[in-house]
């Protein structure tokens, strides 16, 4: 089955002649050059290469559509024509039939469409890789949208994940860099993430939590979920109105403050990651809208909360310290933190590692985002990773993906955004807030109830600890006594061995001396007496040591 899927992928690439997207001047490995050359024997489609790429991605299914959505944010890497086509993958994927959507809704909610909705639009409002959206009005009058999972999506995703796992295992086994990059762990994490997207009740819970986090912020708005009409395959939530984050012409027509909007986006991202530890991890432009009702104070609207990320406290702290060290250009600290976190081996030469990080990252500071090539920075960091055996951290992959999306939107909204100027003060304030008196008292207050519950157990715990210490002391004394006995016995064995060697030598000498007459050598009475005494002593020493 996996082989069939791989062949199917290759056939679709062949049919759409994606080799036309490969620049003629690009130097490729020999094996890839042969593949590209072989594709050119097939007829060229009528559509442009950009359209062919979008059609190929659509035909390959949800996994590849998600990847295309990420590419659609990178205007620094691709042409406007290609970006324009890839943006259609965000919410313009061909829809599935409305009669199937109606059937799924009625089955999941155990009621007819007319019983729940006063009005239902058969024409999808949007259609993406995993689900499509229909407009409706509840019988109680609220405007809502209905999200419905595509039929058969789970089977397609699991099939493609199997192919990706096969390729990941092959890479890990046969490529020298494979184990360090953890491709199997990365794909497994992605499998967990994308399968969660198929459970709309989980997305509804994520949406409610994110809404609660930002409810009174006037920075990010998250629609309300109608829990009475939610199931694993159907979710009903508040209908929102706003401008797409990438519709710059409309934003300019409404005199939206784009600089303020860009800075607000950075603050929202860092707040989600470091304060809430609950961040929207699928922030492509199709999921982000702008409330333009107050153009001088625009706010964001977040949709599609299926993919949510969080970090452990350890990773969050190391990440924060790393970012601050980067912002302050303290590359020695960055190198040290990488070793402390276990992201590079303990025997790493910190001076060499620091020099490589400096050479890669120093050029990007104090420059607007439009002048920064993060592609080159990533290539440089990848080379550093190979040199110092830096391991890929699967738990940070979602965060890295979100950063790519944020950067892509930042370039579109306000190309002159200085990411470092915006982020550094935030990180400094966050670090200070973690160690100020108020934060310490809050942590103390959080722990007091748990400590109170443990107070009655303190005598037993103290008695147990003392008993354990006594046991350790007794055990230590016993270990010291045993070590002394071992040392004494080793000394005795050493003396026995020494005496045995002396006795053996004496006995051998006596035997050799007694054999002299048999060899024709003359002997005197003194020699015979001495030989007898020497042999007797040798036998005696060996006897008493046995």
pLDDT band, very low/low/confident/very high, at 37 (cuts 50, 70, 90): confident
Contact 227, 274 (CB under 8 A): no
C-alpha to C-alpha distances, 7 to 14, 334, 470, nearest whole angstrom = 10, 44, 69
Q: State the average pLDDT for the chain.
A: 77
Contacts of 493 (CB under 8 A, 6+ apart): none
> What's the pLDDT score for residue 134?
96
Would you tell me how many other CB atoms lie within 10 Å of the CB of residue 463?
A: 10
228 DSSP 8-state letter: G
Tens of pLDDT, residues 108-149: 999 999 999 999 999 999 887 789 999 999 999 999 999 999
Which of 195-204, 329-338, 398-407 is predicted least confidently?
398-407
What pLDDT does residue 521 have?
A: 45
In the predicted structure, residue 345 carries a pLDDT above the cut 60: yes
Quick one: which H or E segment has residue 261?
helix 258-270
Confidence of residue 55 (pLDDT cuts 50, 70, 90): confident
Domains with residue ranges and CATH for the chain: 2-91 (no CATH), 98-257 (3.30.200.20), 258-435 (no CATH), 471-544 (no CATH)
How many C-beta atoms lie closer than 10 Å to residue 174's C-beta? 8
Please say if the pLDDT value at position 292 is more than 50.
yes
Residue 504 pLDDT > 60:
no
**At residue 90, does pLDDT exceed 70?**
no
- Region 57-66: mean pLDDT is 77
Of 219-228, 254-263, 470-479, the one with minimum mean pLDDT is: 470-479
- Rounded to whole angstroms, how far apart are CA atoms 509 and 478? 46
Specify the 3-state DSSP secondary structure of 243.
strand
Q: What is the pLDDT of residues 145-161, one digit of tens each?
A: 999 999 988 888 888 88
User: With contact defined as beta carbons under 8 Å apart, do 243 and 391 qualify?
Assistant: no
CB-based contacts of 441, cutoff 8 Å, min separation 6: none
Task: Give a three-class secondary structure readout of 422-452.
Answer: HHHHHHHHHHHHHHCHHHHHHHHHHHHHHHH
Looking at residue 261, its pLDDT comes to 92
Q: Which of 171-175, 213-217, 280-284 has the lowest mean pLDDT?
A: 171-175
Q: How high is the pLDDT of residue 429?
A: 85
pLDDT at position 518: 47
* Bridge partner residues of 160 (DSSP): none
User: Is the predicted pLDDT of residue 321 greater than 70, yes or no?
Assistant: yes
Give the model confidence (pLDDT) of 354-397 as tens digits: 898 888 887 776 666 667 665 556 556 666 666 777 666 656 76
Task: State the Cα–Cα distance between residues 543 and 546, nearest whole angstrom.
Answer: 5
Give the strand pairing for 234-238 and 220-221: unpaired
**Residue 522 pLDDT > 60, yes or no?**
no
Going by C-beta distance under 8 Å and a sequence separation of 6 or more, which residues neighbour residue 38? Answer: none
Mean pLDDT in residue range 448-462: 62
Enzyme catalytic residues: 282
Orientation of helix 183-196 relative to helix 397-413, angle to 10° = 70
Averaged pLDDT for residues 423-442: 71
For residue 42, which of 7, 9, 11, 5 has the smallest C-alpha distance? Answer: 11
- Is the pLDDT score of 228 beyond 60? yes
Using 50, 70 and 90 to split pLDDT, how confident is the model at 478? low
- For residue 90, which of 301, 272, 254, 288 has the smallest C-alpha distance? 288
């Amino acid at each position: 089955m996996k082989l069939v899927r791989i062949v199917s992928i290759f056939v679709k690439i062949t049919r759409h002649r994606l080799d036309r997207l490969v620049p003629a001047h690009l130097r490729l490995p020999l094996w890839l050059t042969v593949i590209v050359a072989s594709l050119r024997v097939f007829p060229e489609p009528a559509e442009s290469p950009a359209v062919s790429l979008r059609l190929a991605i659509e035909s390959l299914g949800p996994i590849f559509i998600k990847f295309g959505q990420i590419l659609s944010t990178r205007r620094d890497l691709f042409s406007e024509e290609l970006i324009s086509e890839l943006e259609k993958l965000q919410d313009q994927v061909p829809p599935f039939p409305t009669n199937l959507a109606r059937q799924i809704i009625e089955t999941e909610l155990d009621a007819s469409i007319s019983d729940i909705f006063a009005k239902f639009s058969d024409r999808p409002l949007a259609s993406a890789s995993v689900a499509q959206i229909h407009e409706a009005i509840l019988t109680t009058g609220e405007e809502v949208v209905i999200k419905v999972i595509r039929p058969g999506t789970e089977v397609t995703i699991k099939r493609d994940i199997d192919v990706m796992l096969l390729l990941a295992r092959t890479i890990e086994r046969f490529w020298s860099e494979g184990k360090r990059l953890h491709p199997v762990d990365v794909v497994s994490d992605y499998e967990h993430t994308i399968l969660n997207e198929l459970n709309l009740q989980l997305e509804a819970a994520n949406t409610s939590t994110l809404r609660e986090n930002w409810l009174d912020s006037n920075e990010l708005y998250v629609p309300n979920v109608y829990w009475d009409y939610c199931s694993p395959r159907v979710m009903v939530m508040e209908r929102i109105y706003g401008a797409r984050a990438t519709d710059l012409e409309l934003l300019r027509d409404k005199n939206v403050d784009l600089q303020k909007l860009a800075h607000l986006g950075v603050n929202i991202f860092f707040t989600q990651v470091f304060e809430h530890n609950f961040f929207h991890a699928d922030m492509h432009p199709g999921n982000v809208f702008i409330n333009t009702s107050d153009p001088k104070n625009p706010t964001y609207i977040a949709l599609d909360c299926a993919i949510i990320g969080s970090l452990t406290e350890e990773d969050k702290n190391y990440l924060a310290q790393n970012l601050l060290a980067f912002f302050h250009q303290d590359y020695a600290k960055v190198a040290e933190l990488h070793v402390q976190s276990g992201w590079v081996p303990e025997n790493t030469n910190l001076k060499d590692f620091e020099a490589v990080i400096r050479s890669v990252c120093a050029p990007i500071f104090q420059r607007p985002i439009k002048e920064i090539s993060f592609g080159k920075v990533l290539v440089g960091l990848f080379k550093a990773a190979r040199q110092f055996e830096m391991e890929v951290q699967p738990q940070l992959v979602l965060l890295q993906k979100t950063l790519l999306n944020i950067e892509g939107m930042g370039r579109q909204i306000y190309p002159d955004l200085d990411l470092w100027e915006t982020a550094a003060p935030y990180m400094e304030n966050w670090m200070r807030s973690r160690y100020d008196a108020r934060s310490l008292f809050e942590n103390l207050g959080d722990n007091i109830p748990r400590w109170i519950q443990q107070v009655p157990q303190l005598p037993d715990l103290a008695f147990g600890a003392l008993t354990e210490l006594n046991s350790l002391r007794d055990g230590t004394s016993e270990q010291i006594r045993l070590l002394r006995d071992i040392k004494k016995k080793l000394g005795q064995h050493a003396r026995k061995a020494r005496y045995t060697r002396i006795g053996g030598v004496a006995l051998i000498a006596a035997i050799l001396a007694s054999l002299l007459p048999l060899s024709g050598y003359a002997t005197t009475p003194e020699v015979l007496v001495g030989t007898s005494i020497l042999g007797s002593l040798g036998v005696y020493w060996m006897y008493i040591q046995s």
